[in-house]
Structure 1
Amino acid sequence: MSDQTYNWSRKSFDELVDFYEREIARERQLEGYDPNKDIPSYQWLVEHGYSGLQYAVREHHKMTLSEFFEQAVGLGDGGSADSLSWPIDNEQMIEYLEQYFRSQQRGSAAESTLQSKRSRLGQFLRHYEDLHGTAAIVSRITDVADQPEEIQRVTAVFDVLDKELESNDSKRRYRSDIDDLYSWLVDRGYGAFNPVRYDHEWDVSKRDNPALAPVQVGSLAVATENTEEQLIVLGLCAWGLRRSELANLHVENVNLQAESPYLSFDTRKNGPGTVALIYGQDILEDRIAQLSDRQGWDGYLFPSPDARRDHVTGETLNRRFKSIAARADAHVRGELPTSKMGRRFWYSAYADAVETVIERLQSVAHEQGSSDPMVVFRNYLSEEKRREYLREAMRDRLAEAFDHDAEGETNSGL
């Protein structure tokens, strides 16, 4: 069947996910692949008449194929960068890329960071191949005489990305990753020059990370309709979890019996870590009690209705978060907020809490003959006391946001 028959551009995001599960997964299984784990290569999609899927997820949902299959469909082996396929048709270039990522894996970068970098480089090379007929970038940087032409080719790809990417922060990450790949190729002797150093200027120095305001968080809290939705808002805004971490949250991550309850993770983006449960513990307890009554519950706090999966995906939680925001009529720059904006609220609230603690130490610093209260904070307070002060200030910030909505009314939902 040809791509034209599928009307890719008319399918909603959920319809694309459903299409994979109904059509593509069945065909993959017939060919011996694991449809719940193995990510289809772009070449496989082309050969089977599904190449239009790439255009649909890129143009209408701002995702790469790898991001769609991992985040929306839930494929992959749980985090290995090797599980991702490259969206190019050049075996030699793919070998260079695998060498590059093997060198990256020997460093301290987390697997999730490498996955994101791999996705960005894949998108760059796919555009390069579409524009210039090949992804064999190495052959075009071996002779300095080719430098002017290659700079123009790379700049043409950046022009395409410039239209696709919405924020300066995204552009900064793409440019950094592409620059790093070219630098690695030159350092290893595969190339003679790095064309990224000469591309047209992106305004990558200005960060563009809008966050939810406290009153909007209060509106979201009011708009929740059940414990599950309350947990979504709390997990993102009060605990600062990434949506993938929240989607994967398991009862084994929860420690409510400690003097200061917390969540623990064996693997986060920057390694193992804990998250303090400063606010909303009662909702978490209610959710666990609610799920504990379900027959066969396996411990995930957001179990998937699909029997083939243990839990929902991060993209599913993002859609639910936006639905809550729609009910609350909460918008950021005219658009419904994403889960990242909830997490950014947490960072903003934490920064305010730090500032509050520092202001409280101003008089202590003055008595010690210092004009900088940070000296007191860092050098004269124990780690336990610093944590206590910050938690108290953070609890005040969260209570102020969650307990009042945009009209200043006291909330009863959370």
Structure 2
Amino acid sequence: MSEQTYNWSRKSLDELVDFYEQEIAPERQREGHDPNGIPTYQWLVDHGYSGLQYAVREHHDMTLSEFFEQAVGLGDDVSPETPTWPIDNEQMIEYLEQYFRSQQRGSAAETTLQSKRSRLGQFLRHYEDLHGTAAIVSRITDVADQPEEIQRVTAVFDVLNEQLESNDSKRRYRSDIDDLYSWLVDRGYGAFNPVRYDHEWDVAKRDNPALAPAQVGALGAATENIEERLIVLGLCAWGLRRSELANLHVENVELQTESPYLSFDMRKNGPGTVALIYGQNVLSDRIAQLSDRQGWDGYLFPSPDARRDHVTGETLNRRFKSIATRADVRVRGELPTSKMGRRFWYSAYADAVETVIDRLQSVAHEQGSSDPMVVFRNYLSEEKRREYLRDAMYDRLAEAFGDK
């Protein structure tokens, strides 16, 4: 496996943490390692991840141990319920633990909470370095302190702005920090949220290019076998994350029903299902193809490496780019990534919702309402809403893949 394929040097610290949680951690879990244990450098080398050490050392000024302990939150004497924090303020740590106990009562997956811990830890570490303390609560209890606190938070955002490479990472930091301050205010610990004010860090402009329908069609036409077709469908027609697609198992698939779907015990934000509105025949053909293999264990993308049950999400991303190269598809001059396929799905779904709402306009008018959403939400059964959306989404996907 080539280390260059991971583009270690181009990943922000946040993206490296995400990569660990989505790619490395599941692999270690499959091998039976302690999920909270720190991987050895030799293990990383043996599994093709040695470039991680260079990236965290040269680009983030951290050792491997510091990365795993401080950024990821691993350690032999640490559990997810008792994280360590890179600050020296016991009262603030207690607030943080209260906050995460409230988060754990929600539906967020543990990997999502670990990423949030990492981002908040980095924010507070920078805050402490810049302002001498991480005791942010004492500085939001009096509205008279609001101008100064906004400036202090802005200074931390300026540091993060230099460190983080992508707008996606910046948005996640801002969202998590905003959420923490909002929780403190809601619980009566503070009087105002300084993140809600202009801190001169503009992350509202999204930099998330998506594939256009014609490009999706070109990708589908460029596939050379069932496996490649399934990659394009999984990302673009079903909106799966590449790690979910790489992990896809026959037990996740339910085709023998009026409305086929994929079922997952755990997605990023908890258990869930994905409707198979289009392309079920390719999925069925892939299962039939693999069923003829001796010793097949049910994974739709089995790995040629005997040490792994299935390929990694990064492998699927490389194959997706290979298909794009063959199809001569570019987005802003660059080969598209797997995320752009998922973004196409979101765009297509938003268009499908708009189509359904437009169709209900005349019904709303007859009911004396100017808002067709009232009809959609209040006068259609859940089954009927799902039927309308499935039909509209099928039309969008079929048109993109050239079936209409």
TM-score normalized by structure 2?
A: 0.70
Residue 306 of structure 1 and its aligned partner are, at CA, apart by 3.4
Q: Counterpart in 2 of 1:54?
A: 56
Aligned to 1:162: 161
Kept in 2, the 8 Å contact 1:169–1:206? The answer is: no
Does the aligned pair in 2 maintain the 1:81–1:111 contact within 8 Å?
no
Residue range with higher mean Cα deviation, 379-388 or 219-228? 379-388
Which string of whole-angstrom CA distances, capped at 9 and with x for unpartnered residues, describes residues 196-255 of structure 1?
567832223344432110001011112223222211110111011122222221111111
Unaligned 5+ runs, structure 2: 10-23, 45-51
Contact 1:251/1:299 (CA < 8 Å) preserved in 2?
yes
Counterpart residue number, 2:384:
385
- What's the offset of the Cα at 1:140? 7.6
Change in 2 beyond 3 A, CA 1:213/1:83:
farther
Q: Report the 3-state secondary structure (helix = DSSP H, G, I; strand = E; otherwise coil) of the residue aligned with 2:348.
A: helix
CA contact (8 A) 2:127 2:134 kept: no
Change (3 A) 1:377 1:112: same
Residue 266 of structure 1 aligns to a residue whose secondary structure is: strand
Equivalent residue number for residue 80 of structure 2 = 82
* Letter paired with 2:56: Q
Match of 2:342 in 1: 343
| CA 1:221–1:166: 2 relative to 1, 3 Å | farther
In structure 2, C-alpha distance between the alignment counterparts of 1:15 and 1:347, rounded to whole Å: 26
CA distance in 2, matches of 1:258, 1:197: 47
Check whether the contact 1:350–1:394 (CA below 8 A) recurs between aligned residues.
yes
Cα distance in 1 between the residues matched to 2:328 and 2:304: 28
**Of the candidates 120, 127, 134, which is equivalent to residue 138 of structure 1?**
134
TM-score, normalisation: structure 1: 0.69
Larger deviation, residues 336-345 vs 161-170: 161-170
Give yes or no for contact 2:146–2:194 (8 Å, CA) kept in 1: yes
Does structure 1 conserve the Cα–Cα contact (< 8 Å) formed by 2:126 and 2:156? yes
Query: Are the equivalent residues in 1 in contact too, given 2:364–2:370 (CA < 8 A)?
Result: yes
CA distance 1:308–1:184, change in 2 (3 Å): farther
The structural deviation recorded for 1:321 is 2.1
Quick one: which amino acid aligns to residue 226 of structure 1?
N
CA contact (8 A) 2:259 2:276 kept: yes
| 143 and 341 in structure 1: CA distance in 2 versus 1, 3 angstrom threshold | closer
Q: Which residue of 2 aligns with 1:374?
A: 373
Other-structure match for 1:255? 254
TM-superposed CA distance for 1:166, in Å, is 5.0
Q: Deviations over 1:32-83 (max 9, x none)?
A: x9499734499xx9xxxx8534146769xxxx956xx99xxxxx9xxx9829
Matches for 1:16-55 after TM superposition, within 5 Å: 34=33, 38-40=37-39, 52-55=54-57
User: 1:300 offset after TM fit, Å?
Assistant: 1.5
Provide the C-alpha distance between the structure 1 equivalents of 2:242 and 2:390, rounded to a whole number of angstroms: 23
**Paired letter, 1:290:** Q
What residue number does 2:173 align with? 174
The answer as to whether partners of 2:107 and 2:270 remain within 8 angstroms in 1 is no
CA distance in 2, matches of 1:388, 1:186: 42
2:114 is equivalent to residue 104 of structure 1: no
Higher deviation after alignment, 91-100 or 288-297: 91-100
Match of 2:49 in 1: none
Following the alignment from structure 2 to structure 1, what is the Cα–Cα distance between the partners of residues 186 and 384? 48
The SS at the match of 1:274 is: strand
Aligned to 1:281: 280
Instruction: Tell which deviates more after alignment, 192-201 or 378-387.
Output: 192-201
Matched residue count: 361
Distance 1:300 1:103, change over 3 A: same
Partners of 1:358 and 1:374 within 8 A in 2:
yes
Where does residue 214 of structure 1 map in the other structure? 213
Q: How big is the alpha-carbon RMSD for the aligned residues of Structure 1 and Structure 2? A: 4.6
Matched, 1:12 2:4: yes
| Residues 217 and 401 in structure 1, CA contact (< 8 A), matched pair in contact too | yes
2:245 corresponding residue in structure 1: 246
Partners of 1:141 and 1:102 in 2: how far apart? 18
CA distance, structure 1, for counterparts of residue 188 and residue 208 of structure 2: 38
Structure 2 distance, partners of 1:304, 1:312, is 5
- CA displacement at 1:177 relative to structure 2: 1.4
Query: Does the CA contact (< 8 Å) of 1:179 and 1:196 recur in 2?
Result: yes
Instruction: Find the counterpart in structure 1 of residue 12 from structure 2.
Output: none
**Does residue 231 in structure 1 map to residue 230 in structure 2?**
yes
Taking the aligned partners of 1:203 and 1:385, their CA distance within structure 2 comes to: 41
State the alpha-carbon separation in 2 of the partners of residues 358 and 193 from structure 1: 38
Are the aligned partners of 1:218 and 1:403 in contact in 2 as well (CA < 8 Å)?
A: yes
SS in 1 for 2:274: strand
SS in 2 for 1:138: coil
Separation in structure 1 between the aligned mates of residue 248 and residue 261 of structure 2, nearest angstrom:
13
* CA drift at 1:98: 5.2
